[in-house]
Structure 1
Amino acid sequence: MKKIAAIILYGAFATLMVHCSPKASKAISELPVESKEQIVAQYSPQQLESGKTIFMSSCNKCHKLKEPGSRTPEQWNKVLKRMIPKARLSDEDGKLVRAYLIANSKTAIDK
């Protein structure tokens, strides 16, 4: 009887963990990697500033912030697909953070 109760308990715990773990939203995970120029054309300076504010206040809670110029747009895109859900950012806030980081990222020439 104890074995059955333990199996049920572990099964319930595993189900809870799967359903409660953060997942990348489709809006974020399916975004194409845009160039700095494309981002600057799509987002206003105010939106990019909002992205910076969200980045500095949200990402700073768990780890030291990386400089936006430390990665290429492709690298930021890969990191953010994983980190936006962990930070529990809304799709809109995630897009603003992504825009800020890509707009200030390093280019292929900077490598």
Structure 2
Amino acid sequence: MQKTIITIFSTFAILSMASCFPKASHVIRSLPVESREQILAQYNQDQLAEGKAIFSSSCDNCHKLKQPETRTAEKWNSIIKRMIPKAKLSDEEGKLVRAYVIANSKTI
């Protein structure tokens, strides 16, 4: 009986902890790697400025900010997909941050 209770409690604890981990939305996970030119064609300067503001205020809460020009668009795309859920940004905020960093990313 005690073994059953321990098993049930352990299972509940593991499931509870797993549900606390942020998960990227389908929208964020499905974003393709876009070039700087593609981003600049889709987003205007006001949107990029909003992305910069969100990037500065949200990402700086947990760690030192990396400048966008230190990474390629491909690298930023993978970083952003992983970090947006951790920062608890909405899909729209995540897209703006992603647009900002890619628009200012390192060119190869």
Shorter-chain TM-score above 0.5: yes
Once the two structures are superposed, the pairs formed by residues 1-111 of structure 1 within 5 Å of their partners are: 1-108=1-108
Aligned-residue offset at 1:19: 2.2
CA distance in 1, matches of 2:10, 2:51: 40
The structural deviation recorded for 1:3 is 2.5
Note the C-alpha offset of 1:26: 1.0
Residue aligned with 1:22, SS: coil
- Count, aligned residues: 108
CA–CA separation in structure 1 for the residues paired with 2:88 and 2:6: 32
Query: TM-score, normalized by length of structure 2?
Result: 0.95
What's the TM-score once normalised by structure 1's chain length? Answer: 0.93
Deviation by residue 1:13-65 (Cα, 9 ceiling, x = unmatched): 11112223111111111111111011011001000000000000000011000
Q: List alignment gaps of at least 5 residues for structure 1.
A: none
2: CA distance between counterparts of 1:8 and 1:62?
Answer: 35
Range with bigger deviation, 38-47 or 12-21: 12-21
Query: In 2, Cα distance between the equivalents of 1:103 and 1:69?
Result: 9
Name the SS of the counterpart of 2:60 in structure 1. Answer: helix
SS in 2 for 1:52: helix
**C-alpha deviations, 1:61-91, integer Å up to 9, x for none?**
1100000000000000011111111111100
| Distance in 2 between residues matched to 1:57 and 1:6, nearest whole Å | 43
RMSD: 0.9
SS at match of 1:32: coil
Query: What is the Cα deviation at residue 93 of structure 1?
Result: 0.3
